[in-house]
Structure 1
Amino acid sequence: MALTTLASVKAQGGILPGDTSRDAQLRILIDGVTSYVKQLLNRDLESQEYVEYYSGNGTPVLMLNQYPVTAVSLVCVDESGNFGAGPNSFPPTLNLVNGVDYALMSGAKGNGSAGFLRRIGAHWLRPRSRQNGVLGTLPGAARGNIKVQYTAGYLDIPPAISMAVNALVLKQASMAAMGGAVASMSYEDVRVSYFDSHDARQVLGSIEAVLATYRSIPV
């Protein structure tokens, strides 16, 4: 799903709704910029349901891959779950109870906004292992022993993200029309110079700074 619409891009770029001469190009750029922004932010943004497998981290807090989290429908811990690969992994008898065994933590922007799931009265278990010649124990191999089914993402994409996506689409469209990003132009001798890759990064810097506030940092 795209992070903006053709109508929104045209409105921000001052393109009349009836001007359809570049609609096909803009749609392609919208898809491309959407994919780029999701990779940049290391997360999806639209509201959808996920079924994911995690390995315990030995702490009471588990960070889900997607956020904001709007609902958690299932949490199951099976120490032989192996990421759901087993034929009988994660049976319903091992399901945890919301509010008793786990709870969705409140973030700066409300409950579930940061995507943290807290284990009540226990830790998200990750067995330790020993290595010859090492006195202490080490974290065990990832076992995919936690299954979480939840809904996360925005019902409405934040305006700051949509505007940034629009700006990137319009910049790409402008660069494509001119054969690159124009740095300077002289009409008297018809000379045109273009930004190099360093200059292009500077142009996009302010937009990426806006997007950075929404970036997920893997832990």
Structure 2
Amino acid sequence: MGDSSSILRLSQVSRDEDHRQQVGKDIFFDLVDHDKVFSHRVQKQTPFACFKEEIARRFGIAVYYQRFWLCTKRQNHTCRPHRPVTPLEEAQPVELLLKANKDELKLFLEVEIGKDSWPVPLPAKTKDKIMLFFKLYDPFREELRYVGRLWVKLAGKPKEILTKLNELAGFAPDQEIQIFEEIKFHPNVMCEHVDRELTFQASQLEDGDIICFQKLLQVGTVKYRYPDVPSFLEHVRNRDS
């Protein structure tokens, strides 16, 4: 691949599979530990499009079905998918993307899987839609796990995707659920209720945000140590601090 001075580490590529493997085991807040995902070395002048071909060989996902997102650090110390890599950036050398991101390139590979478990064409990325990530909390098992992601319209409301969330969780379509947004983990946990009647835009949600949800607990039912997502995350923070 040439002399070592021409090689850079393209770090690191996360996928939905990584989220499923890590959330609830290695991490609880955020989506993934990028140090535990696939990384690849390429020559500085290699076009990003060529890197996509290498990913196609590595994961068996045709280039046509791939969309890479740049992951950036937020003020809450998380690293979330921020925006897709543009066609212009894909035609340019990897070095330019690295320089624009302080020689650190964390990526999320978006692939849509159809009902037959094969990739399907990606939905168009438009300004009126955002991609949200979802975790499910089970107070009985005291378990938090990643269940997937959805595209939603900014002008839409959470109440319009409740059936889809129940499907992700394996619940009955009419199961009542509570919805929270992960906001902050340190120094204090912030995980606030999402108003299902407000639009996603009014709730200031954006690409890469994480929504946690759980069954609505009935009054007078079994008492749980950590009955909701905020109390569970508070427990995890105190335990690991």
Same fold (TM over 0.5): no
Q: Which entry has the higher C-alpha Rg, 1 or 2?
A: 1
TM-score scaled to structure 2, two decimals? 0.21
The structure whose residues are more often strand, as a share, is 2
TM-score scaled to structure 1, two decimals? 0.22
